[in-house]
A = this chain, B = another copy of it.
Amino acid sequence: MTAPLAKYKIVDLTRVLSGPFCTMLLGDLGADVIKVESPGGGDPIRQQEAGRNGMSWYFATFNRNKRSIVIDLKAEEGREALARLIREADVLVENFRPGVLARLGFSAERLQELRPGLVTCSISGFGANGPYRDRPAFDFIAQAMSGFMSTNGGAADPPLRSGLPISDLVSGIYAALGIVSALLRRETSPDRPAEHIDISLTASMTSLLAYVASHYFATGEVLPRAGNDHPIASPYGLFQTADQPIAIAPSDTVFFRRLATALDLPELLDDPDFDTAPSRIRHRQRLNGIIEARLRTSGAADWIDRLNEAGVPCGPVYDVAGVFADAQMKAQEMTITAEHPEYGEVRMLGFPMKFAQQPCVVRRPPPLMNEHASEILDALGIEADKRHRLAGMNEHPLAANPNEA
């Protein structure tokens, strides 16, 4: 039994979020991911957010199942070492601004000379084509310009971002999908073709516009923001109970009937205002009022049991503490722990894809910076006397095999 990507080597030149999320997914799928970090601190996310024993747990959330080496790409020795890495790689992922990698001496042509059939992937804010290709972009700008923010919040509120770096994350998953697809194409084509995949944060988010886009395409209308209401379903949203609010989403009339029965409100079924979805949407406020008055007679946990029993989609609104205390998330192993000989235990998010035969595992805890330099350089056959300026001048311990001393 081998993991899906066990035979592939990924050279990862990315930093911060989208690229590292992509390569972590590839590492979770079994690939050997070599994270190439810059001298002077490495991936900036190493310095961000809370951690323990010198390891940022934010970094950890994006960098398990990788090996780390610091290479100064501004130095000739560094570029030579990268070329040697690429010669043995299957995939190269980068999130420099468009053109930077070529200026470092690694044009598309050179990459294919170094390793014919190499799959390459670039991740940027706006993509490699178009008038904004050179603009800097971060998650928030992509949330704003993709239309995503315009769909969040109430009609009277300003457009609202997600608190999560959602465009980094979604583009990272698309990048992984593009890369694995290109590897599959290479494996199943006699000429083992190369491929390049260009991923942008903005287009990734735009691809999720769903009914907001299709409604606009078909009618020319921009749907108003609906907050927690659903524009084409009612009742739907957050409802107060005797203690906590609960989310209820009966998507159609069948589910609405179940809801009315579970709430012991048979009169809803006889009320002509509520007999079709459009009518329930028109009378949303009155309907919500009746439902909430009933829900306030008991607590959230009780109602969640009763509504689920009746087959009505519903649930609590969890914050992060609630999520990881929940029995289902525990059963789904959505937190996992790894142990590192140097910094000890680190807790991370679990795997979203559950493979029955060959599950994802943490083969490696998140790496210390430059942790695997020696073994990587040894395997490349780069001799100790050529490692001097590889990791930048005097900024980091030289990458030498400790057994050689």
Contacts and interface: CB of A to CB of B under 8 A. Distances in A.
Among A148, A153, A181, A358, the most chain B Cβ lie within 10 Å of the Cβ of A181
A66 interface: no
A318 B358 CA distance: 43
A153 B160 contact: yes
B50 A215 contact: yes
A350 B203 contact: yes
Interface in A202-221: 202-204, 206-219
A151 B141 contact: no
B318 A145 contact: yes
Contact of A148 (B58, B144, B164): B164
Interface residues of A, number: 152
Contact of A162 (B7, B151, B211, B321): B151
A291 to B, nearest CB: 15
Among A152, A163, A331, A352, the most chain B Cβ lie within 10 Å of the Cβ of A163
State the oligomeric state as a number of copies: 2
Given A141-B315, A145-B315, A166-B166, A328 B131 contact: yes
Given A313-B137, A357-B195, A169 B349 contact: no
A391 to B, nearest CB: 22
Contacts of A329: 202-203, 206
A228 B164 contact: no
A322 interface: yes
27 contacts: A4-B181, A5-B184, A29-B181, A52-B218, A135-B315, A136-B311, A136-B312, A148-B162, A148-B164, A150-B320, A152-B161, A152-B163, A153-B160, A159-B319, A163-B212, A170-B170, A173-B173, A187-B187, A187-B188, A196-B357, A197-B353, A200-B332, A202-B332, A207-B334, A209-B349, A213-B349, A216-B324
